[in-house]
Amino acid sequence: MINKLLGIKYPILQGGMANISTGSFAAVVSNSGALGVIASGGMDKDTLREEIRVCKSKTDGVFGVNLMLLHPQIDELANIVIEEKVPVVTTGAGNPSKYIENWKKEGIKVIPVVPNSTLARRVEQYGADAVIAEGCESGGHIGPMTTMTIVNEVVQEIKIPVIAAGGICNGKQMVASEILGAQGMQMGTVFFGNKRMSYT
């Protein structure tokens, strides 16, 4: 399961939600045993560095940073995760192949979001540790395929672990993803909606 690969208690990743997934938010999730993820989509390079340090100050758990590859400062952001020794990087909105080698040299686990099996095969060849197969239920901005459709397709095409994402918010959906071959799940809105969690 993906929790063994990442060193977390549960095989669950928190999705990177721009302007919501701050360092404090990610720390709460990591302290709960899942993988908290800082979303860099609405941040500049200085803000990202600051939020990474906030997260480190509030958790001893494993956390990650989500990088949007269309970000105008993506080269700087890609270096910041190295400089700040971020354990896990997830990527979206593009092909991260040009960055994977440098991240891997620094011991960073690399998990790209993929909208189809074609990109999944490509990033596997470049050394990705796992992929997030994300369906259209995940914010409606990744592509036309549903989560269960894309997970079923991707697990048959690659050997690295597949994480299901998009519309997963309860145990039945998690079990359905596992039956299709997913080794973990990424969820976003369900964390945001949990009023018992404190993000301050």
Q: What is the mean pLDDT of residues 143-163?
A: 84
Place of tokens 């977390």: 8
**Single pTM value for the model:** 0.87
**What confidence score (pLDDT) does residue 22 get?**
79
DSSP letter at 14 equals E
Architecture of domain 2-192: Alpha-Beta Barrel (3.20)
Give phi and psi for 91, each to the nearest 5: -130, 155
Q: What is the pLDDT of residue 195?
A: 42
Name the percent of the chain lying above pLDDT 70: 91
Give exposure, 34-67, as e/b (b: 16+ Cβ within 10 Å): bbbbbbbbebebeebbebbebbeebbebbbbbbb
113-151 residue pLDDT tens? 988 888 888 889 899 999 998 876 776 556 677 777 888
Total residues belonging to the chain: 200
Residue 192: is its pLDDT beyond 80? no
> CA 151 to CA 148: how far, in whole Å?
5
Residue ranges covered by each domain of the chain: 2-192
User: Do 96 and 69 contact (CB within 8 A), yes or no?
Assistant: yes
Rounded-to-10 torsion of CA 10, 101, 58, 23: -100
Token readout for 60 is 């001893």
- The per-residue pLDDT of the chain, averaged, comes to 84
pLDDT band, very low/low/confident/very high, at 30 (cuts 50, 70, 90): very high
Pairing of strands 109-114, 131-134: parallel
